Structure 1
Amino acid sequence: MTSEIILFVNPTAGRGRGARAALPASRVLRDAGYRVRTVLGTDAEDAAGRLREALASRPAAVLAVGGDGLAGLALQALAETGTPLGLVAVGTGNDFARTLGLPVRDPEAAARLAVRTLEGPGPRPLDLGQVGDRWFGTVLAAGFDSRVNDRGNRMRLPAGRFKYDLAILAELAAFRPVPFKLALDDGPVLDLDATLVAVGNGTSYGGGLRMCAGARLDDGLFDVVVVGEVSRAELVRVFPKVYKGTHLSHPAVTVHRARSVTVEAPDITGYADGEPLGALPLTARCVPEAVRMLAP
């Protein structure tokens, strides 16, 4: 291991905040005595490949400068390697950073915290979810929420979060409960009609929606939140409670805890860390201490 820290940068995150955030973060790291190497790519595949190549120098840590998409990309390279990962969260949602209690849209504070963690208590070993060869840190979404993602991704305008607000309204208009099959660990398959199933390693997605508010990153288990069959009007009424996590007390909501989860439903795409994983069925497993994070 060297005194080098890699800045893994998405220059387009948060409408250009990623590029702007790299400079103050780099300055903090250099002032602390670290050599800084910046890694970015022409696209996600290129960036991930460049990061894997850079890990050959055995850096002291990698700091991902961007949003949840870049953090997820970094996880693909760093999971089970032992190299610590820090986040300089300047994207739109920043849910992984929120779950970890890290600064959001404050690159200097994020870099200072990373330095303090490296030179003090050290990185925290935390769990990750895994689907096939894909790793995720926050929530695997399936159902109403993933259909909102599908629709939002198809929309060119408007830009930013407002696009997904419109996608929510459009999906509400077409809303119907979905027939799910759910298998938890080695238990029997559950057949149920539900609005959505969320498999939480972390607590939130969608820029602060605390769908899996009780999830912990260090217990070796997922929180599997099932929102059952509800009317369109009831969904509209309950939805704002998700921002505080108080929806979990609603009678249509059940929470299971499991190490492995298989989710099956027709015509549903699974999303994790905001990125599409593919059509259901999907099986996720919780891998204890799969990543070392620079977090309090």
Structure 2
Amino acid sequence: MILNRAAGGGQVGRHELSMERTLRERLGPIELVRTQGPGDGLRRARLAVEEGADTLLSIGGDGTHSEVVNGIMAAQPEPGQVAFGVIHAGTGGDFRRLLRQGNTLEETLDLFSHPRVERIDLGRVRFTTGNGEPDQRYFLNLASAGLGGHIDRIANRSSKRLGGKATFLMATLRALASYQAPKVRLTVDGVELPPLALSTLVVANGRYAGGGMKLAPRATLNDGLLDVAVIGDGDLKEQLRLLPKLYDGTYIDSPLVEVFRCQSLSAVPCDSDGEPAWLDIDGESPGRLPARFDVIPGALTLLNPLSFVVN
């Protein structure tokens, strides 16, 4: 188990001793490691898999879960070889919306005593860092570029004391007031599309981001496809009209929005010297466009998923 003491605004750290006692009482012998800072979840997950671990539980928020998954993939196991589970203790909670979770730690641990398992896909992004270097990350849930990345950078500089939903809503309002849409060229499954002024590009494996925004309402985790939404540039009034519709997924019905599914997509700014189009990858902003997005079918075994039937 990999535990992030800083998750939930430090709540995990304040209650870690009682949590550890409950974990050991309910699950028996476990190896519990604590992350020491950003990126440490990835390092510890990779080391655990390289040393033979076949089941990893992530205790923290969406950022922690993403780090653990990236650590698993960095160890290059056979597809589905490592089982991954989530005990959510963060602010946003977007990935846990796709899982069976109890209302208390005890109820959640009871589910792990008789877990359901399902092979799921992962997304992969090959992108450009802020320093201009190539890098890549895997995403469990959702990646975006443009306004979404701008929102993420604002949200991650805030305290998040108001909780995930309020934090991301305030960040969205601030971002809308300052964002300038870049011109971007998209290539979808090898077919190049005409350049467009991009407000937000959503590339989804799961459904939610931003503390409950339903950005990919039809996405499933095991269909071998990425769900894409392209939000074109509109004036501030049009963008504000879309805002409440992000939470129930009906924003995709707007004429500003185009949706489709694909296996791969690349996004390249038309002006390489213009304002960066920042990425959001599972709630973190590690870089910017240009980027290539791919789906890795059946990459991970997930514990305690909900039904993947679209509803």
Smaller-chain TM-score bracket: 0.7 to 0.9
Write out per-residue CA displacement over residues 65-101 of structure 1, whole angstroms, 9 at most, x where no aligned residue: 1000100011012235322111011101111111x23
Larger deviation, residues 18-27 vs 127-136: 18-27
Partner of 1:140: 143
- CA distance in structure 1 between the aligned counterparts of 2:27 and 2:155, rounded to whole angstroms: 43
SS in 2 for 1:37: coil
- CA distance in structure 2 between the aligned counterparts of 1:105 and 1:191, rounded to whole angstroms: 46
Partner of 2:28: 34
Partner of 2:218: 214
Distance 1:114 1:15, change over 3 A: same
Partner of 2:132: none
SS in 1 for 2:208: coil
Distance 1:256 1:91, change over 3 A: same
Write out per-residue CA displacement over residues 210-262 of structure 1, whole angstroms, 9 at most, x where no aligned residue: 11111111011101101123221121112111111111112221111111111
Q: CA deviation at 1:27?
A: 5.0
**Is the counterpart of residue 66 in structure 1 residue 60 in structure 2?**
yes
Partner of 1:95: 94
**Is the counterpart of residue 272 in structure 1 residue 276 in structure 2?**
no
**Is the counterpart of residue 14 in structure 1 residue 1 in structure 2?**
no
Q: CA deviation at 1:23?
A: 5.3
Write out per-residue CA displacement over residues 109-140 of structure 1, whole angstroms, 9 at most, x where no aligned residue: 222222211xxx4x211000112341111111
- CA distance in structure 1 between the aligned counterparts of 2:181 and 2:151, rounded to whole angstroms: 14
Letter aligned with residue 34 of structure 2? L
Write out per-residue CA displacement over residues 160-211 of structure 1, whole angstroms, 9 at most, x where no aligned residue: 5455443322222224433121111111233112321100111111111111
- CA distance in structure 2 between the aligned counterparts of 1:165 and 1:37, rounded to whole angstroms: 37
Q: CA deviation at 1:155?
A: 4.9
- CA distance in structure 1 between the aligned counterparts of 2:228 and 2:41, rounded to whole angstroms: 32
Larger deviation, residues 255-264 vs 35-44: 35-44
> What TM-score results when the alignment is normalised by the length of structure 1?
0.86
> What TM-score results when the alignment is normalised by the length of structure 2?
0.83
Distance 1:11 1:155, change over 3 A: closer
Q: CA deviation at 1:50?
A: 2.8
SS in 1 for 2:186: strand
Partner of 1:75: 69
Letter aligned with residue 91 of structure 1? G
Distance 1:157 1:221, change over 3 A: closer
Are the aligned partners of 2:207 and 2:215 in contact in 1 as well (CA < 8 Å)? yes
Q: CA deviation at 1:30?
A: 3.7
SS in 2 for 1:14: helix
Superposition misfits of 4+ residues, deviation over 6 angstroms? 156-159
Are the aligned partners of 2:2 and 2:35 in contact in 1 as well (CA < 8 Å)? no
Q: CA deviation at 1:26?
A: 4.7
SS in 2 for 1:54: helix
Are the aligned partners of 1:141 and 1:270 in contact in 2 as well (CA < 8 Å)? yes
Partner of 1:111: 109
Distance 1:55 1:140, change over 3 A: same
SS in 2 for 1:213: coil
SS in 2 for 1:131: strand
Partner of 1:48: 42
Are the aligned partners of 2:9 and 2:160 in contact in 1 as well (CA < 8 Å)? no
Are the aligned partners of 2:121 and 2:295 in contact in 1 as well (CA < 8 Å)? yes
> Aligned-residue CA RMSD in angstroms?
2.4
Q: Which runs of 5+ in 2 are unaligned?
A: 127-135, 306-311
Distance 1:269 1:74, change over 3 A: same
Larger deviation, residues 189-198 vs 49-58: 49-58
Distance 1:30 1:167, change over 3 A: closer
- CA distance in structure 1 between the aligned counterparts of 2:52 and 2:299, rounded to whole angstroms: 18
- CA distance in structure 1 between the aligned counterparts of 2:176 and 2:39, rounded to whole angstroms: 34
Partner of 1:152: 155
Q: CA deviation at 1:38?
A: 0.7
Partner of 1:4: none
Are the aligned partners of 1:194 and 1:226 in contact in 2 as well (CA < 8 Å)? yes
SS in 2 for 1:190: coil
Write out per-residue CA displacement over residues 30-59 of structure 1, whole angstroms, 9 at most, x where no aligned residue: 445531111123223334323333335534
Are the aligned partners of 2:7 and 2:89 in contact in 1 as well (CA < 8 Å)? yes
Give the alignment partner of residue 285 of structure 1, picking from 283, 294, 308: 294
Aligned residues: 285
Q: Which runs of 5+ in 1 are unaligned?
A: 1-6
